Structure 1
Amino acid sequence: MLFRSPRRRLALGAVTALLAVASMPAAAQAADSPSNADTDTAAPTPSDRTLPTVQVVGRRQSGAYHEGHAAGATKTDAPLLEVPQAVRVLPRQLLDDLSALRVDDALDFVAGASRQNNFGGIWDNIALRGFAGHGDSGMALLRNGISANRGFNAPRDTANVERLEFLKGTMGALYGSSEPGGTINVVTKAPRFTAGHAVEAYFGSHDTRRIALDSTGPLGGDAAQPATLAYRLNVSAEERGSFRDHVQSRRELVAPAFTWKLGSDTTLGYDGEWLRQRAPLDRGVPAPGGQLGGAAAERFYGEPADGDIMVDNQTHQFFVDHALGADWTLRAAAQFKRGSLDGLASEITPGSCIAAGTGWECRRRLRLRDFESKDTTFQLELAGKLHAGGVEHELLAGIETARFDAERRILSGNYPARISLSNPVYGAAPPALAATVWDNTLGDRSHAVYLQDQVSLGGQWKLLAGVRHDRYRGRYDDRAFGFTAGSLLSTSQQVSATSPRIGLTWLPTPELALYASAGRSFRPQIITSASGQGFDPEVGAAKELGAKWQSRDGRLGATLSLYDIAKRHVVVYDDNGYPSGEQAGKVRNKGVEAELAGWVAQGWRVALAYTFLDADPRITNFARHSGSVFVVHERTLAGGALVGLGGGMTHVGERTVDLGAPLLPAYTTAKLTAYWRATPQLRLSLDIDNLTDRGYYASGYNNAWITPGAPRTVTAGVQYKF
């Protein structure tokens, strides 16, 4: 059995709740969106379901919280109701209502998603179902279906994001190297041949200022000769202070995109992104003696004179789609990414705090980082439908080749004097950077072929089967092995892996689906321990059972899933965060997730999520229970103005943290949001996060680097469309 009592009773109770949702009154299923929403009509879907309308640009009103399709789940247009896995899509409407400016801002409203060590605010690190990936490479993340998290990437901005797709469970059969807990696909905003323009400005607590532009439309063309080229441009600039002393950040994003219709059967697309962030490396607060509260949440223990860590990212994606008749399509894609991270940072040395006469004091180290990476990927895919033996098949076949290169160098020195946690004094003379901690290069090459078949076995049964074979070759050259400059260690790895998945879906009614699935994943580990030992690739296996329900009009949907995931060859790290040379034989996570999102009545949007995670004791930073609720109600006033008021709560249970840190206590935070669309062009908004000003700890890495949560934050915004 996948689960034993009492979790079986919990699962049965959740099934009962899901079936109760399926019997909701027809009035809720057929809820109409409020009038006066400035929208474009969405194209009909292959399943002929009516979807909510979608705006061209700017903040949404009256849009969807529930999506019936996700491009990343199968790389086809199959409805999610037929896909045998849990998928949570956060559409633009929900991102707007949450005022989510980063991907991280939306995590609390996805079952199974949790925050991990974010390297002092320098990059994203998200885990799904208790599996986070390696601390230096982060989670499995795609951008428009192409692997996009290798290297050094600043936290993702949502200015050019159309939706976020959380693909739960193993996706190795489609995307290769990944985590068995799931993969995130970031879908960017596409150009449109209907013109639209919007500008937004925000002002908030801690001297936060942000401005953003979203513009799209045709280039050239007229009534006699329609345009064949369309553009989209998203630009944002932000300066953000912090409740943390001496911590502030600056970000700029420029994201152009083009769609060019080369003919009736061929389309060329380009999607680019330049993102730069400058901010101090903020490791948070220590827990001296293994106890929280020994350092005030607002204290910064770096050196203001160090300046900023700068992360600079460039991404270029090209797509060519060519129709081969009515049922077959050939698609080629290419991605070129570059990333860099450099700057000085002083940080507390883990395990160095001692009790002194005036309180706790800790040693610090100064580090100079200089990281660069390049990532190139090519894909070629053939997709189409055929009938054989009275059975309908939807086939996808593809090949992929990728190349990744990274150079990483860290110079380090130790401050001679300790810093007081209760009364930090800045301005200490910087130590000499005499030690070479890292001086290495990493290069890998991979080639893959994959095949997927979605089979309609009559009207009620759907079979999904896929397999991918990867060949990986990597080389790691360490010129500071054992932290001795000039010493050289070279390791290489050549592995092959076959990652299958299979799933079966039964649709007893057009609105309800029951499914079961299983799959495998792998992740190469071209790293070494302090003794020079190499590591076998991680191999994951996932099993999942679930039920999905969707209202007849497609506006409301729910998912219940039960999973059992195991991963072998997980590397164990020592107290300094370096590979110890030990690999855990197998770690195993089991859990239950439940989600409900969409229109529950006229003018009411809701998003609910709950997670029960029974994580392996050797896997840390995960709560056993977590959940969230977010509700928005809007109504049209006399004269056509639109008013919306909403709010939500998030609960995260207590968590253990890596490398000797204390237990992080559970916390619950509340959020309020309000907006007034005075005219079809002008909209005003107000958001209050952490309404009750609750003190909490968001995540941690060890006993020196624990991230405190932000206090009450107020943000006012104005949005104008033209």
Structure 2
Amino acid sequence: MNRIYASVAPAAMALSLPVSLSLYLFPATARAQQSPAPVASAASIEVVGRRSSDSYLAATASGAKSDLPLRELPQAARVMSRQALDDLGAVRMDDALDYVGGISRQNNFGGMWDNVAIRGFAGDINGGMALLKNGFAGNRGFQAPRDTANIERLEFLKGPAAALYGASEPGGTINVVSKSPLWRAAGAAELYAGSHGAYRATLDTTGPLADGLAYRLNLAHERRGSFRDHVDTRRTLAAPAFTWRPAPGTRLDYRGEFLRHEAPLDRGVVAVANSLGAVPRGRFLGEPADGDILVENLAHQFSLEHELAPGWHARAGLAYLGGAMRGYSTEAQPALQPDGRTLWRQRRYRDYQSDDISLQAELGGSLQTGAVTHQLLAGVEASRLDFDQRMLRANPSAARPYAIDVLAPELGQLYGHPRPEPAPNADTADRQRTGALYLQDTVVLGHAWRVVAGVRADRYRQDLRNNRTGADTAQRPHAVSPRVGVSYLPGAEWTLYASTGRSFRPNTGADAAASPFDPEKAQAAEIGAKWQNAGGTLGATLALFDIRKRNALTADPGHPGFSIAAGRLRSQGMDFDLAGQLGRAWRVNASLSYIDARVASDNTLEAGSPLLNVPRLNGSLMLLREARLAGGGRVGVGGAVTYSASRLGEGRTRAQAASGAPAFELPSYALARLVAYWQLSHSLRVSLDIDNLFDRHYYSSSFQRTWVTPGAARAATLGLQARF
């Protein structure tokens, strides 16, 4: 079932997101003569285990598909390096998301997935955020929260990416880059213990296996309690990687991953009388007897690259991404009963399975025509996603309310009724097919000008079968997505740029007449300035943007329970990022965003209403200072603060606005984090991380007044890291 776009749906349905990414870099013959030498990228630092004294500033982003340095690229892009992840003590991708400009947290499906909005746009309401993994689709089907054990860096590519990746959001895309095998033997083992009964162990080992063959293996296992009652998590990750060089100029890469995630589905707390705080942040309103939801993900990625001639490469890629989710949950109805404390609940059983296959082929190279250099890229892609969803559901009623008193709960006490057994509610088979052709030209015009222009043509096919009713729905949309950006380099440290592009994303499902929806379409424009110091150790980007989207799904007032593609949205604002080193001893990461994201027009929601979970203002600052000890060791001490302004917590309808009912908002909050480490020797290190240092009560996101995610309480983690 489709829901209005101002909320994230509780059932995760597939998003067709055909993507491709060249992992090679074009030769930079002309650029090397015209640009200052960039700092080494995070990917080139061959370190195993937690890092010290590496930069937060990256030179390039593989997701941009261009060898232009980030300072010269006509696009805002922020790379969260492995050093930054280590300094934050980030064990999940979610731990790093507050430290990038333009990012705002969204409903996380009861802790079962990662979800953010970029520049105000949160992605498919049933599929979540736009995400790539090594350039392949990384978020189709159902994917558990990402573990950082095998992540080398996170690339936040802001602005429309449809000219390269097809169906996507106009606000931006995140590319997760995995760790690669190294050509020397190395290893690291890490142990962590923390508050609320948290334990974690990881292993990272790499090296050559034979002449031209190297491996890497990342393992992680975690058992974590919670400040939330009855909410414990177990996770296991195994991620092998191989690189084979059978001949000069030829390289075959394999990246694999298996992730098992087990936890109760936790919809959070409820607002009482439109206010938060009456229900303690640790109170669980589900039923512990339901047990855990199990999510299992399996990924295989192959990339074959061959040098055809000096300056020209061909690449072919194959990826498989499988996902499965099953288990029982008890979930709140949208509102409390009239007494203001009784909550009716549903009981659900989910059984989801997805299989996603992508094929890519690319040809790229460099051409010199006088003083002009062209870096050319041409690619084709095909993908197939099969997504089967089966849900059983027991709805409450006056005779069987399956209720709980949120102010004085008695879990397991079902008001004289046995726990309801869910009955068939949804059973669908979704088959999505895509085919695409894309072209890009990166032009270097003398010392001062850079132009990036590209276009992609997509054909999309979806066949949706309702196994309960026998109804079939089919759609065959297609789209052409252009993009162009221009950079001007007035000096060795500054860049001014402007860009514009279009994006699209198919709307899955059907309306009341069983007809497919028109796809979402968006137009975005951006201007900005970039600065990097002469030493290449500190850089900043300031961007101003304007994004307009149409055909967003909204409730159909003539057919309750159904949707129509009639919503229009807009987002305007700025985001700022700064990262790098301040002198030899300090590392800094800072971000600031002002986003005015609103409903422009809608059949149900109030025009001018803010978009869900998007604060107008948020920001962050992280500083870490290192010092060498007399005996050769090293210590580092630092901290971080994040701030989020108040934001809408539930979609506001025109009827609510007309009645004068107050909007439901999540309050603003500011958090502090303390990080410290002691490098006893080259091979041994101790770390201490304290999150939410002052134990602030806050709420990170919401779907509705009865599904509000409370922020984590103060937690300390002590770690021991050893290299071998």
**TM-score between the two structures when normalised by the length of structure 1:** 0.89
Contact in 2 for aligned 1:505/1:516 (Cα 8 Å)? yes
Q: What are the within-5 Å matches in structure 2 for residues 31-430 of structure 1?
A: 48-51=37-40, 54-73=45-64, 75-220=65-210, 227-355=211-339, 360-388=341-369, 390-414=371-395, 416=400, 417-427=402-412, 428=414, 430=418
Q: 1:92 to 1:243 in 2, by over 3 A?
A: same
CA shift, 1:114, in A, is 1.2
Q: Structure 1 unaligned runs (5+)?
A: 1-42, 221-226, 480-485
1:703 aligns with 2:690: no
Tell which deviates more after alignment, 318-327 or 420-429: 420-429
Distance in 1 separating the partners of 2:123 and 2:566: 14
Number of matched pairs:
663
Measured against aligned partners, the alpha-carbon deviations of 1:236-274 in whole angstroms (never above 9, x if no partner) come to 000000000000000000000000001001111100000
AA of the residue aligned to 2:679: R
Distance in 1 separating the partners of 2:571 and 2:58: 28
CA shift, 1:574, in A, is 8.0
AA of the residue aligned to 2:386: D
CA shift, 1:169, in A, is 0.3
Determine helix, strand or coil for the equivalent of 2:712: coil
**1:622 pairs with 611, 614, 619, which one?**
614
Determine helix, strand or coil for the equivalent of 1:174: helix
Measured against aligned partners, the alpha-carbon deviations of 1:603-641 in whole angstroms (never above 9, x if no partner) come to 100001000001112522100000000000001010101
Contact in 2 for aligned 1:546/1:560 (Cα 8 Å)? yes
Contact in 2 for aligned 1:492/1:526 (Cα 8 Å)? no
Determine helix, strand or coil for the equivalent of 1:120: helix
1:582 aligns with 2:564: yes
Contact in 1 for aligned 2:556/2:564 (Cα 8 Å)? no
Measured against aligned partners, the alpha-carbon deviations of 1:360-412 in whole angstroms (never above 9, x if no partner) come to 11111110000000100000000100123542100000000000010111101
CA shift, 1:715, in A, is 0.5
- Which residue number corresponds to residue 12 of structure 2? none
- Which residue number corresponds to residue 586 of structure 2? 604
AA of the residue aligned to 1:425: E
CA shift, 1:434, in A, is 4.9
Contact in 2 for aligned 1:413/1:431 (Cα 8 Å)? no
1:662 aligns with 2:652: no
CA shift, 1:580, in A, is 3.8
Determine helix, strand or coil for the equivalent of 1:262: strand
Measured against aligned partners, the alpha-carbon deviations of 1:681-714 in whole angstroms (never above 9, x if no partner) come to 0000001111111000000001110000011111
AA of the residue aligned to 1:170: P
Contact in 1 for aligned 2:578/2:591 (Cα 8 Å)? yes
CA shift, 1:578, in A, is 9.0
Distance in 1 separating the partners of 2:280 and 2:633: 45
AA of the residue aligned to 1:130: G
AA of the residue aligned to 1:143: K
Tell which deviates more after alignment, 384-393 or 157-166: 384-393
- Which residue number corresponds to residue 472 of structure 1? 460
CA shift, 1:71, in A, is 0.2
CA shift, 1:489, in A, is 2.5
Contact in 1 for aligned 2:505/2:519 (Cα 8 Å)? yes
Determine helix, strand or coil for the equivalent of 1:193: coil
Distance in 2 separating the partners of 1:549 and 1:95: 23
CA shift, 1:531, in A, is 5.5
AA of the residue aligned to 1:178: S
Determine helix, strand or coil for the equivalent of 1:314: strand
AA of the residue aligned to 1:685: S
**TM-score between the two structures when normalised by the length of structure 2:** 0.89
Q: Structure 2 unaligned runs (5+)?
A: 1-27, 599-608, 653-662
Distance in 1 separating the partners of 2:513 and 2:78: 42
Distance in 1 separating the partners of 2:512 and 2:148: 39
Determine helix, strand or coil for the equivalent of 1:565: strand
